[in-house]
Structure 1
């Protein structure tokens, strides 16, 4: 009699979960013509490769994303509009998959990725990741093929008043596509007893950190260590960063990209100097979204490298954080 080591059962469960997600996605598009049209439009968006810090990045011209890129997130603007992530304000046609007792998975009707989901908390609460970091892992436990990402309240979140994650699959994402190269050049800062690692990515377009772990508790502990080492301004509710997380077999890879600025100076510039680029996690991961064709055409290597340098963590701060992590 052959022994089953459980891996076949695990893989079958994962495939079933991914099939459930695809089925949910297709059902939503059939019932929701507006969302279906935007996902169809996504197939025809312009995409170009631009070298950034020696790595191929991608620029996407996506006019439908002007809603998010141009979102006003000051307190007055948020107070005046109904929260589009609260269930009572969503389109009736928008259904959900429960994620535990406290989150829901929804199709994102303004997609960047061929499969694009938003995962809001059921309760209206501020965009803060610290207490919900494990939810990213729970999503990947259930849907193995996803990339899950988080935009801080001033790092690309168009609804900073309502805690939410996003997730998707099916598109170029340079930080994930080039992971082997990034990992091979990492600077290890901390290694846990079970071999999990907190490292600095030293050859990316801007300073970044990575957590490589297979144990949930160690993963959370290393994130907390990094969280406490990152600078936090007095007027901010958490350190400024974006997070991208994915799974490779049983290893969970988390990339944390600290931020110095919400938007580059070109966003609010006037005349020809203006470019409407408001970086979120996918942008910081190397897929840059431009709602306007003129900005898409203009973005080249010097402009892109300057943009990452402007909104990313300054190098001197990066060195300080590395020292704090390595020498607690």
Structure 2
């Protein structure tokens, strides 16, 4: 297996994964769900990455094959993608899936690959971070794969949907919901057919583009989860896509000075319920109130969310009714 092979022959990677095994973690309980906070020093480069246009122009792209670490192995994945072991893991098993060519991070034309990826990476979830929503390489299209059930939302999704969700469409093949748990606002797409996930996402993208202030694409983070069918009688199988809706890239806490600064740049994993803090001092001082404040600040506003849900409900029922 790629991960074991790379750990064996790449000392720096072995060190990264060894130090990752015992991270400091604490858990904050909210109403019906939890958010974990983890101290992960290895993520300092990603969390503090300069992703403005000027900085991107002058640095070599670390996802292009010619710029990989000397011991980093790339496996061809289909015609368009590669598989790399992520050298700075968040998950117990963490891969990056970059496009073989240097093309911009943009999900619209490539979302359809996420269900296929999640089926191939059966032990993992697939994540996408938008170019202004946590992607440390906004100039190079890539997805990530990480261990299932690491993020609380993997197990907690259904209770969140039941407690805080509004069903926008529901039939035998498709369920789409809008969920606001007080910290995060997100759209979920559950389906047994990957083609339906694509159709629902296309409709979502069209309407979200109208309310999002993203410059290059609507601001979002995506998690795609595949549950295989255990037997012919099983009804709990198929794809679940969760799309977190964003208002801004980084919270005000990120830019504060001195002791008031918290180096937390939320991306898909953070929204999934594990906030990654590379600095131990931030881990020690962060509070439940800080976490709530950060998520509310970077998430889409309530009024925009209500408009989006209303438009989606109407369009989904008109175009995807059973």
User: How high is the TM-score relative to the length of structure 1?
Assistant: 0.89
SS across alignment from 1:238: coil
Q: Which residue of 1 aligns with 2:38?
A: 60
Aligned to 2:220: 241
- The more displaced of 151-160 and 54-63 is 54-63
Match of 1:295 among 282, 294, 300: 282
1:208-247 residue pairs with structure 2 within 5 A? 208-230=186-208, 231=210, 236-247=215-226
| Bigger Cα displacement from structure 2, 233-242 vs 69-78 | 233-242
Greater alpha carbon shift after TM alignment, 195-204 vs 290-299: 195-204
2:265 aligns to what? 278
Where 2:242 maps in the other structure, the secondary structure is strand
| Structure 2 residue 31 is the aligned partner of structure 1 residue 44 | no
Q: Which runs of 4+ in 1 moved over 6 A?
A: none
Query: 2:11 maps to which residue?
Result: 33
Q: For structure 2, list consecutive stretches of 5 or more residues without a partner in the other structure.
A: 229-236, 316-322
Tell me the secondary structure at the aligned position of residue 132 of structure 1.
coil
Contact 2:123 2:148 in 1 (8 A): no
Gaps of 5+ in 1: 1-22
Aligned to 2:243: 256
Q: Which residue of 2 aligns with 1:183?
A: 161
Instruction: Give me the whole-angstrom Cα distance separating, in 2, the residues matched to 1:183 and 1:102.
Output: 35
**Cα distance change of structure 1 residues 317 and 233 upon mapping to structure 2, 3 Å threshold:** closer
Shift of 1:273: 1.2
Indicate which of 157, 177, 194 corresponds to 2:135. Answer: 157
Q: Relative to 1, partners in 2 of residues 1:237 and 1:257: Cα closer, same or farther, differing over 3 Å?
A: same
Deviation per residue, 1:141-177 (Å, 9 max, x gap): 2121211101000000000000000111066311112
- Post-superposition shift, 1:214? 1.5
Could you list the per-position Cα deviations for residues 31-87 of structure 1 after superposition, in whole angstroms to 9, with x for gaps in the alignment? 111011001100122111112444221101011111000000111111111000000
In structure 1, what is the Cα distance between the partners aligned to 2:157 and 2:10? 36
* Residues 196 and 214 in structure 1, CA contact (< 8 A), matched pair in contact too: yes
d(CA) in 2 for partners of 1:225, 1:235: 17
- SS at the partner of 2:249? coil
CA drift of 1:283 comes to: 0.5
- Contact in 2 for aligned 1:114/1:170 (Cα 8 Å): no
Say whether the 8 Å CA contact 1:127–1:152 is kept in structure 2. Answer: yes
User: 1:174 aligns to what?
Assistant: 152
Q: Note the aligned Cα RMSD (angstroms).
A: 1.6
1:321 is matched with 308
- Whether 2:83 is the aligned partner of 1:105: answer yes
Match for residue 73 of structure 2 among 77, 95, 103: 95
Question: Structure 1 residues 156 and 202 mapped into 2: Cα distance closer, same or farther (>3 Å)?
Answer: same
Q: TM-score, normalised by structure 2?
A: 0.91
